[in-house]
Amino acid sequence: MNRFLFYATTFVVVFMSLLPFAWFLNTSLKTPIEVTAIPPVLLPSGTLHSYRSAITEYNLLHFVRNSVIVAGLTTFFTILISVFAGYALARLRLRYKGLIMGSLLLVSMFPQISIAGPVWRILHALGWLNTYQGLVLPYVTLTLPLGVWILAVFFTELPDELEDAARIDGCSHVQTLFRIMIPLAAPGVFTAAILVFIYAWNEFFFALLIMTQQKFQTLPVGIALFQGQYTLPWGEIAAASTVATVPLVLLVFLFQKRIVRGLSAGAVK
């Protein structure tokens, strides 16, 4: 009975999670007439009209390119800083280490709307509105606590004997980090990189606030601003949403074991 309840609950949760994705995937394969048909057409004709229209009329690939650039740069700089910060907090004797970790956790709890004004004023003063660096900088700031926490936990779990052996061989802290610690903490680095990339790929609020020119808008903002002549182009929106979602689904599906291992590090001694 318990096993039946477990499988039944799992099926319901998975079904409810996949239903929105299945719905807009289904919509993206319909013709414009099928999209607006009443009663709704459940089985699409399988046309790629919405995808072609999203690419040619709504410049979908341009938004995809911007999202790849912003998410890629955010991931690179966040992981680069998090590796050094996580290693320092986990392995070095630092004063106020607990205060630093608590401050990182506190910063990550700030709602975006509470810091939107200061962020906008700073970027405006720097002349970084409608620039890639103007969006990457807030993203790095917002994702650093996550990256530092994950990597600090991983570095803490590594045996001290490895570091002692490296010092006996004449390695400095930097050499020990790159030659010993990072290869062993690869699951944590990989997990943090994927989570940071997903956040930067999906983030909407700051992208809408900072990128007001279509030239620099990312995929979530571009999709939200799709406009038709008389009504919203639901087929094109569904097609663009599918393009935005499929890469993330494949990424998580292919590397789910590493993600689970990274997120569960330190949970069991």
Is domain 65-210 classified as CATH 2.102.10.10?
Answer: no
Query: Among candidates 127, 134, 188, which has minimal Cα distance to 156?
Result: 188
- CA distances 64 to 9, 27, 58, 167, Å, are 36, 20, 12, 46
Residue-level pLDDT at 64: 95
Residue-level pLDDT at 268: 47
Q: What value does the mean pLDDT take over residues 214-237?
A: 87
Q: Which of 37-41, 72-76, 190-194, 238-242 has the lowest mean pLDDT?
A: 37-41
Confidence of residue 1 (pLDDT cuts 50, 70, 90): low
Report domain extents, the chain.
21-58+226-269, 65-210
CB proximity list for 79: less than 8 A, separation 6 or greater: 147, 189, 192, 193, 196
Average pLDDT of the chain to the nearest whole number? 87
226, two tokens: 């799709």
